[in-house]
Amino acid sequence: MGLVLKKSLAYSLLKKRIGQANHFLITILVGLDEVSKGNAKKSATLDAKWDPKDVKVSASRSRTYALNSSLAWIVDNFDSYVQNCKRKPSFIENNELRRALDSADRRVNEKFEVLYNRYKATGDLKLYGALIALGIQWRNVTTHSGGDNVLDNEYEGILQENKDWYTNNFCHLDVDKAQDSFNKRKNPSLKEVASIIKSVLRFVEIVDKELIKEIDVERYVKDLLDKHYPKESKERRLFANQTREHQLSKIKQLLLNSGFVYEEGDGLLVDNEFLTKYMGDIKCQVSV
């Protein structure tokens, strides 16, 4: 039994940040529904003034704000996933892919298209990708006044050719209605935002698994350890003063916290040979 890499740190962070985003958004909208009915009262512990002239209008506008903000937030989190994959320990082994993502600079749509075009033949990635493409353009027109963004013909075609799939997999999502609302510059609905959130999670899950197939695990582990225990750092000096048994235990836990899991068969064996190979300059004061 050994340690096998199953996911990136970037994916774990994304799941932590947006894994329950739909639940949080629905909770906000449930609260706003009570506001619109006049049932909500400001708590004395809330140190803010709240005295809307018309609670229905205020709740309606706040609902729009919550949905548009959630859409912007999910797109930004997708962008963060890509950026985090590029940071040390880099989860991107392929130099051509890295250069393409670097060339995209801060343009999230170009980063998305780099990943989409590289992996679009994998599973249902194209189907999730079409909704993400719509979400990115929709984010742009709701965030930037006067935005003239349009959805690429390829993504429009995917949405139109797979209406039943979207209906069945996204709680009766109506892609015709979604595209019409986007084209008319209307704000997205709860179902549309929730569907885009789900698509980002599924898309990234597929991409993450494909990146793992290309990873040089030895290089990745070395970068991970170098980041956690930089040479000449206080952390590395403290690590060196621990027993060999404690050192091995710390590294095992670090790997388990970094996307590795125990599996039967081949995998990393965290033993004395491992320490010598990856942290050869580490000495411990007490031998075990």
Task: Tell me which of 139-143, 149-153, 279-283 is least confident.
Answer: 279-283
What integer is the mean pLDDT of 74-84?
A: 96
pLDDT tens for each residue of 252-288:
999 999 999 999 888 899 998 898 888 876 765 544 4
| pLDDT for res 153 | 96
Mean pLDDT of the chain: 92
For the chain, give the percent of residues with pLDDT over 70.
96
Question: What DSSP string runs through 229-284?
Answer: S-TTSHHHHHHHTS-HHHHHHHHHHHHHTTTEEEESSS-B--SHHHHHHHSTT---
Q: Do 255 and 268 contact (CB within 8 A), yes or no?
A: yes
What integer is the mean pLDDT of 231-243?
A: 88
Give the Cα-Cα-Cα angle 53, 59, 63 (nearest 5 degrees). Answer: 150
| pLDDT for res 143 | 85
- 4, β-bridge pairs: 261
What integer is the mean pLDDT of 88-98?
A: 95
| pLDDT for res 232 | 84
| pLDDT for res 288 | 42
- CA dist 115 and 97 (Å) reads 8
pLDDT tens for each residue of 105-125:
889 999 999 999 999 999 999
From the list 270, 222, 225, 223, the residue with the least C-alpha distance to 244 is 270
| pLDDT for res 287 | 47
What integer is the mean pLDDT of 226-237?
A: 90
Q: Do 188 and 71 contact (CB within 8 A), yes or no?
A: yes
**Number of C-beta neighbours around residue 108 at 10 A:** 19
Task: Tell me which of 162-166, 167-171, 237-241 is least confident.
Answer: 237-241
| pLDDT for res 286 | 47
From the list 11, 5, 21, 7, the residue with the least C-alpha distance to 197 is 21
- CA dist 96 and 45 (Å) reads 55
Q: Do 52 and 235 contact (CB within 8 A), yes or no?
A: no
- pTM (two decimals): 0.92
- pLDDT at 42 exceeding the cut of 90: no
